[in-house]
Amino acid sequence: MSQPAPGPRLQMTLAAAELFRERGYDGTGLREVVERAGAARGAIYHHFPGGKAELATTVVDAVGGRMADLVEQVCARSTPTEAVDSLMDYIEKVLVGDGSVGRSGCPVAAVALAAEDDDGALRAAAHAVFQRIRTAIADCLRRDGIGAGTAEEFATMAVASAEGVIILARAARDPAAVRTVRRSLQWTLQQLGPRGARS
């Protein structure tokens, strides 16, 4: 429903996502969002009557949802090894995207860590995205013949280490940890692969 114009509303959403990546939810000002989006300040309450919180949930639903879409697509047509590689490629690309390593992070995590979230809507939106990604990865492993419990466990581990390594890499200003986590996940996959033999 709605989606009347793919114009300023989308651009504000993308600008907010970018800023959330760099500065987090509380570190991002609405004036900066509209400025980066090339929009008017009043426009924000026209497109997001709920204010900053609605903008943030929109960012999570749209940008986080798009991330989940990509993971689902990759997972649907690839092996777990390829899926992990693809996920880590994406993280590495985001981290070193603008040259200065480690300025950019995950907008979903940023919203999940927002200071004020009275009704828990921000956290819930972020949780939904994490859940989709986890499920997509777990399905990918199961299709590869790995037991449901082990698949779920690996998927949780993959998402957690992905979010965590972003923090480590940003603190270190060095994406080396991403490659380490990638190697570790691939090794685990290899152990699981031949025979998903676990209780």
Partner DNA sequence: GTGGCACTATGACACTCGTCCTAGCAAGCC
Partner DNA sequence: GGCTTGCTAGGACGAGTGTCATAGTGCCAC
Please identify which residue in 31, 77, 93, 183 interacts with a second copy, judged by CB under 8 A. Answer: 183
Q: Which of residues 3-62 bind DNA (CB under 7 A)?
A: 4-5, 7-8, 28-32, 39-47, 51-53
- Whether 12 contacts 43, CB under 8 Å: yes
Q: Per CB under 8 A, does 120 bind a second copy?
A: yes
Between CA 59 and CA 108 the distance in angstroms is: 8
Q: Which option in DNA, a second copy, none does residue 138 bind, with CB closer than 5 to 8 A by kind?
A: none
Between CA 84 and CA 102 the distance in angstroms is: 21
Between CA 59 and CA 64 the distance in angstroms is: 7
Q: Which option in a second copy, DNA, none does residue 87 bind, with CB closer than 5 to 8 A by kind?
A: none
Between CA 66 and CA 129 the distance in angstroms is: 9
34 vs 159 by CB, closer to DNA = 34
Q: Per CB under 8 A, does 197 bind a second copy?
A: no
Q: Which amino acid is at 142?
A: R
8 vs 126 by CB, closer to a second copy = 126
